[in-house]
């Protein structure tokens, strides 16, 4: 698979009169997914190209400040409109995912649509459903790719403060506030350039990380105090949450984000797992340190994937069964985790 030039992708879109452009991103979109989608939408608009953002599901309220977030079409809440948008589109940008299963049932419409699909993504092992590719698994985030797309096509003049704020946010969260190994000096240069558009980085950090509900903070305390299990032998920390607990703490979309990272903060722990009983599936988040491949674990045992050190997966089994499957699977990695 080879990448297409940013300017060629833009030229393809501009070759059509009033092109119908849809931008979509993964289920339960995080800050990188929403920041890249809305950042791209703002850029395209400034360039004279109208687009609609469609998300498979809702997204966290701490992202509702992003420009354009109120106009997002949520497939789950508006299936007909979202499906029609996909079926009638000339182009569909697919951001921050590379496998149609990541956009749930909306994937059917996107897969069936005759639109030219444009992949912009930084996850390993793309499925290859797209016609145009702008992919780099070395990129810190999809927001960084959108920034590169704008700069490489010589369109810096169409990047504005609102766009910069969206892109900065996704870079900030996907790098764990500039601390993970996916953050390079170039990532800092991009963040610096984005700051020069006059964004309020203090406010952005505050909105994303310091605006939790009281329930969310108490839930974190509860999860760490009551639900954290340390398997020293496997250098692994597991937190599991059942439906009752989600209800008890009035957990909303986005409220469990970041919880998995606490396990990795414990000395000697290399692998952290968060297991949550969602309505249809048991969802899992995997985080690792160093050379233990979290995405291989997700892929091999839980129908998942993601990045080397940050991945996810799911199971249709019960919560208890899934916890047991996780523990059984860990046995295969005893040596690797203790290397
Ligand atoms: P999170 O744990 O924050 O939901 O996801 C961590 C990373 O793994 C993200 O890059 C996300 O896109 C990816 N990911 C999460 N769940 C899945 C999944 O079920 N399948 C695949 N292929 N990737 C996932
Ligand atoms: Mn991302």
309 in contact with ligand 1, CB cutoff 6 A:
no
Ligand 1, atom nearest to 304 Cα = 20
305 CA from centroid of ligand 1 (Å): 6
Q: By residue range, what is the domain housing residue 333?
A: 214-337
- Ligand 1: which residue has its CA nearest to atom 15? 312
Question: Which residue lies with its CA nearest to atom 7 of ligand 1?
Answer: 311
**DSSP bridge partners of 277:** 282
How many CA atoms are closer than 13 Å to the CA of 46, on its beta-carbon side? Answer: 17
CA of 58 to the centre of ligand 2 (A): 17
State whether 22 and 47 are in the same domain.
Answer: yes
- Report pTM: 0.96
Say whether both 301 and 188 belong to one domain: no
- Give the residue from 105, 329, 338 showing the smallest Cα distance to 238: 329
Q: What is the pLDDT of residues 267-318, one digit of tens each?
A: 999 999 999 999 889 999 999 999 999 999 999 999 999 999 999 999 999 9
Strand order in the sheet with 236-241: 228-231, 236-241, 271-277, 282-288, 310-315, 305-306
Minimum CA distance residue for ligand 1 atom 19:
313
Q: For the domain that residue 128 is a member of, what is the CATH number?
A: 3.90.1640.10
Is the alpha carbon torsion for 196, 201, 202, 207 positive or negative?
positive
Whether 1 maps to a domain, the answer reads: no
**Co-location of 162 and 310 in the same domain:** no
The tally of domains found in the chain comes to 2
User: Which secondary structure element, helix H or strand E, spans residue 288, and what is its range?
Assistant: strand 282-288
- What pLDDT, in 10s, does the model give residues 153-172? 999 999 999 999 999 999 99
Ligand closest in space to the Cα of 297: 1
Query: Does any ligand 1 atom lie closer than 6 A to the CB of residue 35?
Result: no
228: CA distance to ligand 2 center in Å? 26
The residue nearest atom 11 of ligand 1, judged by CA position, is 306
Q: Are 66 and 129 within one domain?
A: yes
Same domain, 181 and 102: yes
Would you place residue 1 in the very low, low, confident or very high pLDDT band (cuts 50, 70, 90)? low
The encoded tokens of residue 182 equal 């996916």
Could you tell me the distance, in angstroms and rounded to a whole number, from the CA of residue 233 to the centre of ligand 2? 31
Instruction: Quick: pLDDT tens for 23-38.
Output: 999 999 999 999 999 9
Q: Do 272 and 152 share a structural domain?
A: no
* CB-based contact 133:148 (threshold 8 Å): no
Does residue 153's CB lie within 6 angstroms of at least one atom of ligand 1? no
Structure confidence by residue, pLDDT tens digits, 57-102:
999 999 999 999 999 999 999 999 999 999 999 999 999 999 999 9
| 177, pLDDT greater than 70 | yes
Please state, in angstroms and rounded to a whole number, the distance separating the CA atoms of residues 18 and 247: 46
Kindly give the pairing relationship between strand 282-288 and strand 271-277: antiparallel
Ligand nearest the Cα atom of residue 170? 2
Q: Does residue 101 share a domain with residue 128? A: yes
Residue 129 has pLDDT above 80, yes or no: yes
Cα 215 to ligand 1 centre (Å): 25
Q: Contact 197/160 with Cβ under 8 angstroms?
A: yes
């Amino acid at each position: 698979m080879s990448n297409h030039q940013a300017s060629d992708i833009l030229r393809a879109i501009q070759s059509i009169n009033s092109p119908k452009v849809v931008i979509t991103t993964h289920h339960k979109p995080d800050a990188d997914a929403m920041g890249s989608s809305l950042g791209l939408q703002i850029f395209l608009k400034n360039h004279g190209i109208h687009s609609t953002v469609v998300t498979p599901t809702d997204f966290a309220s701490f992202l509702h400040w992003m420009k354009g977030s109120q106009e997002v079409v949520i497939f789950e809440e508006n299936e007909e409109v979202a499906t029609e948008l996909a079926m009638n589109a000339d182009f569909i940008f697919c951001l921050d995912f590379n496998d149609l299963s990541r956009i749930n049932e909306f994937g059917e419409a996107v897969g069936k649509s005759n639109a030219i699909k444009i992949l912009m993504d930084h996850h390993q092992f793309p499925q290859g459903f797209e016609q145009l590719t702008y992919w780099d698994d070395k990129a810190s985030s999809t927001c960084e790719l959108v920034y590169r797309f704008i700069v490489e096509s010589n369109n810096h003049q169409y990047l504005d403060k609102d766009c910069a704020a969206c892109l900065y946010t996704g870079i900030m969260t996907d790098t764990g506030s500039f601390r993970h190994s996916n953050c390079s000096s170039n990532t800092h240069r991009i963040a610096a350039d984005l700051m020069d558009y006059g964004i309020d980085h203090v406010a952005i950090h505050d909105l994303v990380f310091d605006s939790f509900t009281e329930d969310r903070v108490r839930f974190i305390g509860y999860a760490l105090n009551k639900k954290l299990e340390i398997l020293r032998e496997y250098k692994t920390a597991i937190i599991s949450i059942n439906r009752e607990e989600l209800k008890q703490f009035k957990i909303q979309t986005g409220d469990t984000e970041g919880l998995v990272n606490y396990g990795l903060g414990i000395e000697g722990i290399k692998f952290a797992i968060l297991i949550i009983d969602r309505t249809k599936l048991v969802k899992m988040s995997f985080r690792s340190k160093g050379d233990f491949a979290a995405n291989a674990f997700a892929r091999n045992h839980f129908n998942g994937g993601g990045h080397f050190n940050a991945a996810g997966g799911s199971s249709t089994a019960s919560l208890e069964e899934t916890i047991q499957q996780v523990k059984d699977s860990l046995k295969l990695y005893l040596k690797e985790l203790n290397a």
